[in-house]
Amino acid sequence: MAAPPSPLLSAAQITTLAAVGEERSAPAGTKLYEVGDRTYPFMAILEGEVAIIDAAGTEIVRHGPSGFLGELNLLSGQTVFVTAVAVTPVRYIAVERDTLRALLFEDGALSDVLLSTFISRRESLQTVQGIGVEVVGPHGSDKTVQMVEFLRANRLAYTWNDEAVPDGEDAPLVRLPGGVELHAPTTGEVLRALGIGLELEPREEVDLLIVGGGPAGLAAAVYGASEGLDTLVIESTALGGQAGSSRRIDNYLGFPAGISGSELTGRAITQARKFHARSATPYRALSLEPAVGDRHVVRLEDDREVAARAVILATGAQYTRLACEHVPQYEGVSIFYAAGPPEAQQCVGARVAVVGGGNSAGQAAVWLARGGALVTLLHRRADLRETMSDYLIHELERYGVVVRDKSEIAQLHGEDGHLEAVTMTDGEKLPFTVLFLFLGAKPCTDWLGESVARDDRGFVLTGAAAGADGLLETSVPGIFAAGDARSGSVKRCATAVGEGSMAVQLVHAHLSAAAR
Predicted confidence band of residue 3 (pLDDT cuts 50, 70, 90): low
Please name every residue paired with 86 in a beta bridge, in sequence order, or none if there are none: 50
pLDDT for 246 beyond 80: no
pLDDT recorded at residue 96: 96
pLDDT tens for 118-132 read 888 887 887 777 788
Q: What is the mean pLDDT of residues 281-291?
A: 94
DSSP string of 476-494? STTEEE-GGGBTT----HH
User: b/e per residue, 501-510, with b = 16+ CB within 10 A?
Assistant: bbbbebbbeb
Cα dihedral 142, 143, 146, 147 sign: negative
* Residue 361, CA distances (Å) to 153, 338, 404, 413, 432 in order: 18, 9, 13, 22, 16
Q: What is the mean pLDDT of residues 134-145?
A: 90
* Residue 118, CA distances (Å) to 4, 61, 244 in order: 11, 14, 15
Better-predicted residue by pLDDT, 166 or 467: 467
Could you tell me how far CA 277 lies from the centroid of its own chain?
A: 18
Asked if omega into 172 is within 30° of 0 (cis), the reply is yes
pTM for the whole thing? 0.76
Q: For residue 183, give the 3-state DSSP assignment.
A: strand
Predicted confidence band of residue 342 (pLDDT cuts 50, 70, 90): low
d(CA 225, CA 209): 11
Predicted confidence band of residue 177 (pLDDT cuts 50, 70, 90): confident
In contact, 72 and 80? CB cutoff 8 Å: no
Question: Counting every residue, how long is the chain?
Answer: 516
* Residue 6, CA distances (Å) to 66, 81, 85, 196, 444 in order: 10, 18, 18, 26, 39
pLDDT tens for 450-486 read 999 999 999 999 999 999 989 999 999 999 999 999 9
pLDDT tens for 4-61 read 568 999 999 999 999 999 999 999 999 999 998 889 999 999 999 999 998 888 899 9
Bridge pairing between strands 90-95 and 42-47: antiparallel
Identity of residue 321:
R
pLDDT tens for 411-425 read 999 988 899 999 999
Which residues lie below 8 Å from residue 515, measured CB to CB, with a gap of 6+? none
- Percentage of residues in the chain having pLDDT higher than 70: 97
pLDDT recorded at residue 1: 45
Bridge pairing between strands 50-53 and 83-86: antiparallel
d(CA 104, CA 113): 10
Q: What is the mean pLDDT of residues 344-367?
A: 91
pLDDT recorded at residue 95: 97
176 HSE (CA, 13 A, CB side): 22
* Residue 387, CA distances (Å) to 112, 384, 390, 392, 454 in order: 34, 6, 10, 11, 26
d(CA 468, CA 462): 7
pLDDT for 70 beyond 60: yes
pLDDT recorded at residue 210: 98
CA-CA-CA-CA torsion for 462, 465, 466, 468, nearest 10 degrees?
Answer: 80
pLDDT recorded at residue 247: 63
pLDDT recorded at residue 285: 97
User: In order of start, what are the domains of the chain with their CATH numbers?
Assistant: 11-115 (2.60.120.10), 203-318+442-515 (3.50.50.60), 327-439 (3.50.50.60)
The overall longest dimension of the chain from CA atoms, in Å, is 70
Q: What burial class does residue 101 get, using C-beta atoms within 10 Å of its C-beta: 0-12 exposed, 13-18 middle, 19+ buried?
A: middle
Q: What burial class does residue 479 get, using C-beta atoms within 10 Å of its C-beta: 0-12 exposed, 13-18 middle, 19+ buried?
A: buried
DSSP string of 23-41? EEEE-TT-EEE-TT-S-PP
d(CA 353, CA 60): 32
pLDDT tens for 293-310 read 789 999 999 999 999 999
In contact, 478 and 510? CB cutoff 8 Å: yes
Q: What is the mean pLDDT of residues 70-94?
A: 91
Which residues lie below 8 Å from residue 84, measured CB to CB, with a gap of 6+? 31, 32, 33, 34, 40, 43, 50, 51, 52, 53, 69
pLDDT recorded at residue 502: 97
Q: What share of the chain is helix, strand, coil (3-state, %, to 5)?
A: 30, 25, 40
DSSP string of 226-289? HTT--EEEE-SS-TTTGGGG-S-B-SSTT-TT-B-HHHHHHHHHHHHHHTT-EEETT--EEEEE
pLDDT for 86 beyond 80: yes
